Structure 1
């Protein structure tokens, strides 16, 4: 059940994006040159992020399945609105290969995706900030670590063996409040639904990947609770591959046999827990600068269109991107 604030935010999200859609789109295209000029004034951090999300370094040709920027599929969905927010600045006939949803494999041709595997050569997976209302909600946490419940919490769907294995490993531990609110789950796995605010009352919150990335990772790392998780295997705009074990989160063993020991350690060393929390908070703040987020998004698409041979690069902007 969504909270009233989340419901209101969702309504505002759709009102804002529907309004953008009814405004003459030519107005946005007329602003592209000035937006790009502003973007190239950004520092190295923005350029590094552009080339991280879009790792392509060679020319390519869009596939026969590519769609025009002016006719992005899944009209009315969050994927549609999140990509359209920046694609509308470009010529509506430019072609884009894309894969919406949870992407567990690297596309065979360069394509816009929400996420990609961290392993191997993943350059064909060009990341954009998609489904961001769900994945990038990071509400402020007003409760300090010391004032939270000294226990472990996890809620989620049992959509892979890792999550089920986690419950089997720790659900009998008195310090763990873990389970799924899904009524279709086995009775021993069922626990009541908890809101984000309710989960953040615990000192330790576990993050487990589901179909791809863990949805809760962003709001855990932006909270005053300590994030416990196995090393990530997928990444989104949040650049999960850049998150460091024992710096931004507490790593867990594959069989979760160390959960009790990890909690016992940080109960005795709260200053170390707060150091990790502070580093995680700082990592999250890099995504809060709307000017930088817009610059990175536009330049990721710009680089895609240039390398696909659909745009002749502006020398100054291209020099900025390539360094």
Structure 2
């Protein structure tokens, strides 16, 4: 049932078929149309009232301050959960890696000369590259400037929703449904709280060697919204459900993030945008019971989360920021003459 067509239709996630169809249709528009418009499009920023905000985000995603050369070599290497690509834009094709990453890259890259070279690492990146590389996610650490973040894997990560269920009408529990894979924190969570009255939790998908009792059917996003608290536990990198959880009337519960994406998880404030729990998960039950007993404080967190996610709703501004991040990437890699 969990992998049936009925579940896929009810899951609440955007259908992949429509996303890919839209991507192929957009490829019918000649790239020169976008390249001609790029300079005039970027020039709009200077007249915008939110100019400072835009540049703040650009410099957050692309922290490079000094020029650096990309290696002269060409790389096309498939790793466990990511791909290492160092080549001209034009040579990254739908078959190179997951198609979602191809279309998300092309949404930005097609505004630039296709002869330009990029280091692109699509997939779950949990390390800092040796040279400036475009990534979906990066480690939250001081020396992460070579990880240049773009809005990638949008179909899976950037889901926002309208939640019809007020916080007060939800169950006094936390819910977790997900795969464990190599996630230390998810395995620890299941060991500690499977069967607990405060948590409705289970593992979905193929059993990877964990106790059979942990296995449970999937729940749709709509079914998650019946709970006051939704666990947002990091997997290979970030928790992919965090964006839609923070747009709901439920509260994300998680440990301090160690990775971030275009969502800027590093800017989230504990117990303001989400409920933070210790790395050993020892205070989970105490935290949940506190906010169950103090609903006004809980609903303030919901409001703050809604305020945070709202900054990503302006599609035109998001495109400008993406183009400026890429433009800065080519400047710092000394390729401005070809732009």
The TM-score, its normalising length taken from structure 1, stands at: 0.93
Match of 2:36 in 1: 30
Task: Identify the range of structure 1 (60-69 vs 89-98) with the bigger mean alpha-carbon deviation.
Answer: 60-69
- 1:85 lines up with 2:93 in the alignment: no
- Give CA-to-partner distance per residue, 1:77-128, whole Å, 9 cap, x none: 0101001011001111111111111111100000100000002300000000
| Whole-angstrom CA distance in 1 between matches of 2:227 and 2:296 | 17
Rounded Cα–Cα distance in structure 2 between residues aligned with 1:117 and 1:58: 20
CA contact (8 A) 1:306 1:313 kept: no
Selected match of 1:15 from 1, 18, 21: 21
2:141 to 103, 116, 119: 119
Matches within 5 A, 1:165-184: 165-184=188-207
Instruction: Give CA-to-partner distance per residue, 1:159-212, whole Å, 9 cap, x none.
Output: 222111101111232121011123414222122211111111100111100001
From 66, 72, 79, give the equivalent of 2:92: 72
State the Cα distance separating 1:7 from its structure 2 match. 6.8
| Secondary structure, aligned partner of 2:173 | strand
Do the aligned residues in 2 keep the contact of 1:97 with 1:110 (CA within 8 Å)?
Answer: yes
Give the drift of 1:239. 0.5
Specify which of 36, 45, 49 is matched with residue 39 of structure 1: 45
Distance 1:4 1:166, change over 3 A: closer
Partner residue in 2 for 1:2: 8
Long gaps (5+) in structure 1: 315-323
Aligned residues: 314
Contact 2:62–2:149 (Cα < 8 Å) also in 1: yes
| CA spacing shift, 1:305–1:212, aligned 2, 3 Å | same
What are the superposed Cα offsets for residues 222-276 of structure 1, whole Å, 9 maximum, x if unpaired? 1100111100000000011000101101111222121221121111100000001
Output the CA distance in 1 between the equivalents of 2:14 and 2:258.
33
* Residue in 2 that maps onto 1:297: 322
Encode CA deviations 1:141-169: one digit per residue, 9 max, x unaligned. Answer: 11110011111100111122211110111
**8 Å Cα contact 1:72-1:84 kept in structure 2:** no
Q: Is 1:261 equivalent to 2:261 in the alignment?
A: no
SS in 1 for 2:69: coil
Matched position secondary structure for 1:238: coil
Change (3 A) 1:145 1:8: closer
**What is the TM-score normalised by the length of structure 2?**
0.88
1:139/1:3 Cα in 2 relative to 1: closer, same or farther (>3 Å)? Answer: farther
Q: Aligned to 1:109, which of 131, 145, 150?
A: 131
CA RMSD of superposed structures (Å): 1.8
- What's the secondary structure of 2:47's corresponding residue? coil
2:313 matches 1:288: yes
Bigger shift: residues 191-200 or 5-14: 5-14
Inter-partner Cα distance in structure 1 for 2:30 and 2:232:
42
